[in-house]
Amino acid sequence: MIAPIDWPNFHKNLPVTFLITVVTVAVWALINLGIIDAPISVGGAMNANAWLAHFSHYSFLHLVSNLLIVLFMGVLLERHVGWWRYLLMVLLVWNLTVLGLYFFNPGAVLGFSGIGLGLMVLAYFYWQDEPQTAQMIGVLVLLNLVFGFMPGVSWQGHAIGALSGLAVYGLIRAAQIGQKS
């Protein structure tokens, strides 16, 4: 069962989700106030923008839709595995997504949706013992993958993010199996 969010203690109960939210909103505000330029990740370029672009969004709607994914995944995963394991998951998905975009994306990318999709894939596997929740997450994964094919949206970013989540889940399972041996 998914418990409601305790908003007054959001920063304490979901610290990683809170941090991602604050950084993403701060970057969006700094860009829209003209204080910083929008970091954009470009395939084949490995620089700070390759990592920072995931906190940059081209519109308020883009920002809100990605923050909803961050919030939903935080409630599902951070509560389920704890903040430090969730942080590790986020960092692994983020880095694998950056590497995948470096090698397989010819265009520009910005936004958290690729990482969000990776986290959705992880949540799908972690919630298998609750079929309705897993099914809902699976539908969200498929819808986001299809959404990636809309004009102006990076299907590579969405697909690579999802594959990154799958790879991280594989690493976690391999580590669990290794501990049992």
List pLDDT tens digits, range 112-124.
999 999 999 999 9
Q: Give the start-to-end residue ranges of the domains of the chain.
A: 7-180
| All residues at 6 or more sequence positions from 114 whose CB lies less than 8 Å from its CB, including other chains | 54, 97, 101, 154, 157, 158, 160, 161, 162, 164
Judge whether residue 181 has pLDDT over 70.
no
| Region 162-175 average pLDDT | 95
Whole-number Å distance between alpha carbons of 71 and 117: 13
Whole-number Å distance between alpha carbons of 42 and 40: 6
DSSP label at residue 53: G
Token reading at 41: 């990740």
Mean per-residue pLDDT over the chain, rounded: 91
Output 7 or 89, whichever has higher pLDDT. Answer: 89
What pTM does this model have? Answer: 0.91
pLDDT in tens, 88-145: 999 999 999 999 999 998 888 899 999 999 999 999 999 999 999 999 999 999 999 9
Amino acid 2: pLDDT: 66
Whole-number Å distance between alpha carbons of 77 and 17: 10
- For domain 7-180, the CATH class is mainly alpha
Judge whether residue 6 has pLDDT over 90.
no
